[in-house]
Structure 1
Amino acid sequence: MEQLKNWIIENPTIFSVVKYILLVVFVLILIQLIRRLLRKKVTDTVARYKSQKSIEIIGYVILIFLSFSYFTGNIKDFTLAIGIFTAGIAFTLQELILSIAGSLYIFIVKVYKPGDRIEINGIKGDVIDVDSIYTTMMEIGQWVSSDNYSGRIVKLSNAFVFKGPIYNYSQNFPFIWDEFNLPIKYGSDVELTKSIVIKIASETLSEYTSKSKAQWKEVVNKYYIEDAIVDPTLAITLTDNWIQFNLRYIVDYKKRRHTKHILNDKIHKELEKTKGKVTLASTTLELIEIPEIKVNLNKNDSL
């Protein structure tokens, strides 16, 4: 032991190099251990690849920083180096950490669950899976009109639950309000039109209306919200071209398009039976005749 101390005193440069090499080896081993841990714990291929790459990059940056600090003598305590290394890991993997925290938040608070229809980060779809890092959705809309599937499966980081609003179409109240406009020509029987539209809407939507009333009572009791009308309502607006009938009603969030089709089809058939008393309007264009211009040319006129 005494000989080792004497050797260190006699060869301070060699001892400093050996100490530096051991420090580098320790950091490299630590990086490999973390990479192996991530390889086992992170199941998603993309997240696993990115996290391991991030650890590798951080390791090289830390080694460069430690090398500079070691030979300039700025870092006296190795504990500080470990603290900096840990902080670097946390900064680089903040998205992964937020995703894991987001999955816990989704599970505990019950923000949404598989089977719910949501809109998050501008993407709308049905949730088909929620894991520790991603929420998987079957996309709705985009190039497809109405609430139809586009066919694309979207994976979205769970971290987005902390970054913006989440619209849930099915939680607590699995119904939505929808509406459409019916243009009726001036001179039509307005009262007859009103009775036809309300009758068809009430008969077609009776099941949704009765179920939604019970559900809405639970929502009113749970949240600070006023009561709402769930029965079909009709509003009339006079426009330049026609009388506009606006039908507003409640419907199952998954049957919006199909229900609108049924209502339009039934109303159109009933209006056809009125034999001209009620006529659907359409956009009309009035063409104004250009006045005739007569031009007389006299051959004797000179220029």
Structure 2
Amino acid sequence: MQPDSTATSGDLLSPVVDAVHGVLPFSRAVIEHLVLTALVVLVLWAVRLAVLKGVDRRVEDVRVRYQWRKTTQYVAVVLGAILMLNVWLAELGSLATFFGLLGAGLAIALKDPLLNIAAWVFILWRRPVAPGDRVSIRGLTGDVIDQRLFAFTLLEVGTRTGAGQSTGRIIHVPNGWVFGDAVTNHTGAFAYVWHEIPVVVTFESDWRAAKALLLEIAAEKVGQLS
């Protein structure tokens, strides 16, 4: 015969539950749920921290580290939500009915947030934008510096002068915009931003010599880009 895992875990947590029960004015069942919830959060936090420390020791690429941090955060949140639902809703006879009614209400009341979440999944899957990319959407242009569940963050760059210098402003763009608007990625296929520098050459000047001089300066300063 195998030991009852529920009884075993309950026996292990009994001292903690008894101690907390003497402090908080809640029933013993609620205290058990609270203790299990805290245990889930603590374990997930410790596992994520250990994984990130291992990644930091082995990976030097900042982008890869960022992706690991985001991925482990999302995985921890999803696992935590599933485990907490299992703890707090174990007494429900039919979770399907509960989630069906809850989902119908949320779909109506939270249309825009749900659209942003769906767009977030699309962004992670298709990657129309990624941290470090310079993108334009709805007349806004900037460098992507963060991605979150409901929005991605741009460090705005100025476009009026054509120089593309940072304005210092932070723009939070709802993820749902990628479904209804065209997204221009300036650096997705090429690591540099194209910029034209006008050079005035008079009719009396030797344009061939000017061209050779400019190419020589460009090769000296930036090297071969293509």
Compute the TM-score of the two structures, normalised by the length of structure 1.
0.37
Structure whose CA Rg is larger: 1
Query: Which protein is richer in helix relative to its size?
Result: 2
Query: Which protein is richer in strand relative to its size?
Result: 1
Compute the TM-score of the two structures, normalised by the length of structure 2.
0.48
